Amino acid sequence: MTAPRARAAHALDLDPERVGNDLAALVLTVVELLRQLMERQAVRRFDEGTLSAEQEDRLGTALMLLDERMDDLCAQHGLSRSDLNLDLGPLGPLLADPDPQGW
């Protein structure tokens, strides 16, 4: 009698809306990871002084616009940035705390 229950517990949820939302969350997680890596690289280059003033302005504007677009996409799919963070167990969270320095 436990076989149908066990099978039901492992059944896939194929609700098209949920599958679409889960896929959106996965894609946004990857985009957020890449955005954070680009931001860290930009900060490193700012600190090293390897960018011209024009490059700093353009890079800063691009990162700001990307950050705003991420907020828009998360809102569009009913997600928050914290929803995108995956727990990697002993390794900790995948993503850094969003906006730890208030900028």
Residue 37 has what pLDDT? 92
Three-class secondary structure assignment of the chain: CHHHHHHHHCCCCCCHHHHHHHHHHHHHHHHHHHHHHHHHHHHHHHHHCCCCHHHHHHHHHHHHHHHHHHHHHHHHCCCCHHHHCCECHHHCECCCCCCCCCC
Give percent of the chain with pLDDT exceeding 90. Answer: 49
Rounded mean pLDDT, 21-47: 91
**pLDDT tens column, 37-70:** 999 999 999 999 999 999 999 999 999 999 999 9
Question: Where residue 101 falls among pLDDT bands split at 50, 70, 90?
Answer: very low
Residue 10 has what pLDDT? 57
pTM: 0.70
Rounded mean pLDDT, 17-40: 87
